[in-house]
Structure 1
Amino acid sequence: MRFTLRRGAGLATATAALVLPLISTAPADADPDVTQLARTISAPAVKQHLQRLQEIADANGGTRAAGTPGFTASRDYVADKLRKAGYKVTIQPFEFPFFEEHSTALMQQVSPEPKVYAPTPPDGSAVGEFATMTYSGTGDVTATLQNVDLVLPPGPTPSTSNSGCEASDFAGFTAGNIALMRRGTCDFVVKAQNAQAAGAVGAIIFNEGQEGRTATLRGNLGTPVSIPVVGTSFAVGEELSSPAGTVVRLKTDTTSEIRTTHNVIADSKWGDASKVVHLGAHLDSVLAGPGINDNGSGSAAILEVATKLSKIPTKNRLRFSFWSAEELGLLGSEHYVASLTPAERAKIKLYLNFDMVASTNYALKIFDGDDSDATGAPAGPPGSDEIEKLFEKYFDTLRQGHVGSDFDGRSDYGPFIDAGIPAGGLFTGAEGAKTPAEQALFGGTAGAPYDPCYHQACDTIANINDKALALNTGAIATAAVVYAFSRDLPGPDARAAAAALRHSDSHPHGSPTS
């Protein structure tokens, strides 16, 4: 059957049809009431959660980013829904480096030749001659610029400059000056911290100068420093390096500090606790917007699945996690996985990730668990291919096209894959451009971004494709129910291994920061 969404045709009816494949894919011993209940997991209910997340963002400066009141309110909304549904909810705290640039930076040469350099604004809408580095401190300083171990012109090989990488580079540095350093060899933060330790009141790091390393640096220090730090193009840095005694004004307006945020982890009271079926989505947005597609869509979808399945006694334990600080580098999921004991990690039999499942110019992408698309991307741990096949079967049953998506490390499946846990999930595309082949399968506009509002203020409730949301909600419900009741979860067949130990005659089955 092919799903066609008609304007005004209730998404409840549409999504109920989408979970009909549960009848054919659910285990034979599944309670019929389960498949009936799964039909009630509908896109309109998911949209209600999305509307609430939009209201939270509207009441909190237009954002739900980690470390902001908008995220705290989002966390509380999700946790309250899960507790009321009967889950054991854990609010897991962790510290992370928070950064926000409040206004556009300023950099000007005061003498010997007055000059104002073009800035890169906080929203990145244009790239100027310099940019505030992420985790730069705040300040407004006017001081003499002092070169730090500069070798100019640059040599032919990238990352051979050692400028500012060692404390000894600052021998003779005058405290109260601004340090001028060149990219190369070590992380930006090492250069900035060495400058700060030497008494610099600010730091300018310019690109190294070889082909491909001349543009304005938009670097990430990775951890907060207290002095203003900006990156510039090679041309600007070279210009500032001479003559000696150049005076520069440097002004940044940031918050750069360590804050505490939280993951929300919900465990069902049903099922074998040694066989955990784990679904996850990141709850935080970027600072620039409310993040309703990225990733309100994945969070709202698994929240609705969780609430609808909460009363059903399952064979395996269901766990739903809502990660924080994904947008800052998968920090929440990394913290969670790193905090697990080996025994706890072994209980998680698979992880399903849902990050952006309703992009307006969508493609239905399934994570390629075995690199069957032959892109050369890393395959997931054994069992990831089985997860991929389940989602493929779901969409094939609907006669709905689908394509693969590489495990490229950009979302919260990454820490689970690194821990050897089978993983999979769905994705509808971010800033990349839709291909003509995808346009033929899904409609929309080839050559345009899957999500034209990716990481922008316009990622609002209006930035949701209802058809994609309905299709993926059905797929998520299918996977949750199938794995909640399956006796043979993805990955190596543990039953065969156990049988081999019992019967000696049986045969086990085989199966830029710098």
Structure 2
Amino acid sequence: MRTRAHRGLLAAVTAVSAVVLPVVSAAPAGAAPDPRTLSQAVKAPAVKRHLQAFQEIAAAHGGTRAAGTPGYDASAGYVADRLREAGYRVTLQEFEFPFFREITETTMRRVAPSAKAYTRMTHFRVMTYSGSGSVTAAVRAVDVKLPPPATANGSTSGCEAADFAGFTPGDIALLQRGTCTFQVKAENAQAAGARGVIIFNEGQAGEGRADRRGLIGGALDGTTVNIPVVGTTFAVGKELSAPGTAVTLTTHTEGDPKRRTHNVLAESRWGDPDRVAMLGAHLDSVPEGPGINDNGSGSAGVLETAIQAGGLQTRNRLRFAFWGAEELGLLGSKHYVAGLSAAEKAGIRLYLNFDMIASPNHVFGIYDGDDSDRTGSPAGPAGSDKIEKLFESYFRTARQPYTGTDFTGRSDYGPFIAAGIPAGGLFTGAEGVKTAAEAAKFGGRAGVAYDKCYHEACDTIANISDKALRVNSGAIATAAFTYAYSPVLPGGSTRSGRAAAGGSGRAASGGGGLGHDHDHAGVPS
């Protein structure tokens, strides 16, 4: 028996399609609805209404939807309610994580040899999971290399306890980015008696590496460091390395090593449970803002697609995920994948990730599943190339330009490709700067960030490109409905049964494409 939602989608067959879906191993005539027409049921205004709901939730909860806050819980409640209304079995998958926020804004000013105030989020920013404290002390450079090294691994400042030989306890340690994680550097400094840590960007890039002169926006791995830790630009770090420099550094933060949050998971009631097409987006924002582009946009596109697919009797099982604590190091998706059995992993034939799909100065980025650009990160697991080609076909028939973007491992596809599950998705750019060639191809402004409000309070509903939202929402729907009915999926054969997912199983790393997706905890500095 067909539900009202199913009948409504079938009625869309008579509509004029705005985008013609490429031929992708379609089922026999009459066996299933046409994905080309079903995709038209996902309308941009409906997606925008979800974004407005996220904006209102953030406004009612201190301007943020960060994991572990009431704003995130309200966002998850909104998504879960809409999914239940659409007929899904919804699971709230709980997990524990180390929570962090700034209670009051961090300050840093130089007091010697002359006074100078530094601007938060321009010259410096607090590291996630920094401890609290206020200290006025001499700045002591630790194994700092000026000019910066151009070696493959870069600076090793603070990576070894021996770097702190002769360090005066009570001073503030000045460390240079490179080689080991921020956590290792900060822990070594704390063990040496430092009362504060300043980690500055490495400097001019070495050959084949990204420019490392701007503001660091990183994180420690947890709440084990109880002294102030901030990141700065290369220019500020170089300035502070001068002999006789002293600063006042003040942080007031909150950390909870065992706070709980949850992923929102929805499973369709139809389709082969051994042939799962999974779509996901992270639902949390950073503490600094409402996160409407990052990543209300991806969440809204996936949510509306799920709603419109709710009543369909599909060939394959659809599963939708809204991840928690992505901004703290992909914690929600890592927890989910780590809890899967080998058979459950094999049953997920593909994972599609949508993180920032409406950047105001956007490009249309498709994850480079086959490493066709031969730069940066390697190809995804076997089958990822087929996902990339489906999205390319969509953009060609929509007469929209597109470009490849690397699997850097810095969004929620990371745990899936590490498990050998074919993956793909879309990305419109974060804090990276649009080139002149990209401006000529996609429009917008060269020399300006793809999203000037990335991880800022201004990432509001006003920070959304309606065009990018519309085009990418159509791409999400097209992929979802194609894989819902296709007898051939990227991660398996046409037969039912659990076939092993292909691919190398390696976690991708490195740079390329549109720059990294995000800065997260646990990523080497």
**TM-score between the two structures when normalised by the length of structure 1:** 0.79
1:236 is the counterpart of 2:240: yes
How many Å apart are 1:437 and its aligned residue?
A: 4.7
Name the SS for the 2:290 alignment partner.
coil
| 1:98–1:257 Cα contact (<8 Å) kept | yes
Worse-matched range after superposition: 47-56 or 282-291: 282-291
Counterpart code for 1:373: D
TM superposition shift of 1:453: 2.7
Please name the residue that 1:502 is paired with.
none
Q: Which letter does structure 1 place at the counterpart of 2:64?
A: T
The alignment covers a number of residue pairs equal to 474
CA distance in 2: counterparts of 1:206 and 1:108, whole angstroms: 15
The sequence identity of aligned pairs, in percent, is 58
> Within 1, Cα distance between the matches of 2:205 and 2:371?
33
* Residue 389 of structure 2: aligned partner: 389
* Displacement after TM superposition at 1:48 (Å): 1.1
Matched-pair contact (CA < 8 Å) for 1:104–1:252: yes
Matched, 1:42 2:43: yes
Rg bigger for which structure? Answer: 1
1:286 aligned onto 2:286: yes
Corresponding residue of 1:337? 337
Q: Which amino acid aligns with 2:275?
A: K
The one-letter code matched in structure 1 to 2:20 is P
For residues 321-365 of structure 1, what are the alpha-carbon distances to aligned partners after superposition, in whole Å with 9 as ceiling and x for unaligned? 011222233222222212222121111000111112222333222
Preserved contact between residue 433 and residue 449 of structure 2 (Cα < 8 Å)? yes
Structure 2 CA distance for partners of 1:172 and 1:222, relative to 1, 3 Å: closer
Gap runs ≥5 in structure 1: 1-12, 242-246, 500-511
Superposed, 1:198-213 pairs within 5 Å as 201-203=195-197
**What secondary structure does 2:41 align onto?**
coil
Indicate if the aligned counterparts of 1:215 and 1:234 stay in contact, CA closer than 8 A.
no
Contact 2:366–2:426, Cα closer than 8 Å, also in 1:
yes
Partner of 1:506: none
Query: Counterpart of 1:254?
Result: 253
**Is the 1:206–1:217 contact (alpha carbons within 8 Å) kept by the matching residues of 2?**
yes
**RMSD across aligned positions (CA):** 3.9
Q: Who is 2:64 aligned against? A: 63
Distance 1:282 1:479 in 2: 18
Q: Secondary structure at the match of 1:32?
A: coil
Name 2:378's counterpart in structure 1: 378
Equivalent AA in structure 2 for residue 77 of structure 1: Y
Partners of 1:496 and 1:435 in 2: how far apart?
A: 46
Distance in 1, matches of 2:405 and 2:199, equals: 36
| Matched residue type, 2:219 | N
Amino acid of the structure 2 residue aligned with 1:280: G
Deviation string for 1:114-154 (max 9, x for gaps)?
74443341xx1x21xx65443221122456x5969879999
Matched with 1:314 is: 314
Alignment partners' CA distance in 1, 2:305 and 2:374: 33
The 5 Å alignment of 1:351-366 reads 351-366=351-366
2:293–2:356 Cα contact (<8 Å) kept:
yes
What displacement does 1:306 show?
0.6
CA distance in 1, matches of 2:213, 2:404: 35
- Report the CA distance between 1:429 and its aligned residue: 2.5
Residues of 2 paired with 1:153 and 1:24: CA distance? 56
SS where residue 239 of structure 1 aligns? coil
SS at match of 1:253: strand
Determine the C-alpha separation between the residues in 1 that align with 2:445 and 2:335.
38
Q: 1:166 aligns with which of 129, 151, 161?
A: 161
Q: 1:199 to 1:277 in 2, by over 3 A?
A: same
Contact 1:104 1:119 in 2 (8 A): no
Aligned equivalent of 2:105: 103
1:135-184 deviations in Å (ceiling 9; x for gaps): 221122456x596987999997876767584399579976xx34546547
Give 2:221's aligned residue.
222
- Structure 1 range deviating more: 306-315 or 63-72: 63-72
Q: Of 161, 177, 184, which residue of structure 2 is paired with 1:190? A: 184
Structure 2 CA distance for partners of 1:114 and 1:93, relative to 1, 3 Å: same
Aligned counterpart, 1:323 = 323
TM-score (normalised: structure 2): 0.77
Please tell me whether the aligned partners of residues 100 and 254 of structure 1 are also in contact (alpha carbons under 8 angstroms): yes
* CA deviation after TM superposition for structure 1 residue 447, in Å: 3.9
Contact 1:416 1:423 in 2 (8 A): yes
Structure 2 Cα separation of the partners of residues 376 and 171 of structure 1: 40
CA contact (8 A) 2:272 2:496 kept: no
- 1:482-501 residue CA offsets vs partner (Å, 9 max, x unmatched): 111111111454759999xx
Structure 2 equivalent of residue 468 of structure 1: 468
Cα offset for 1:61? Answer: 1.9
Shift of 1:95: 2.7
Counterpart of 1:503 in structure 2 is none
CA positional deviation for 1:221: 2.7
CA distance in 1, matches of 2:18, 2:203: 56
Unaligned runs of 5+ in 2: 1-11, 207-211, 500-522
Indicate if the aligned counterparts of 1:18 and 1:398 stay in contact, CA closer than 8 A: no
Match of 2:130, SS?
Answer: coil
1:382–1:492 contact (8 Å) kept in structure 2: no
Question: Which amino acid is 1:135 matched to?
Answer: Y
CA distance in 1, matches of 2:193, 2:241: 21
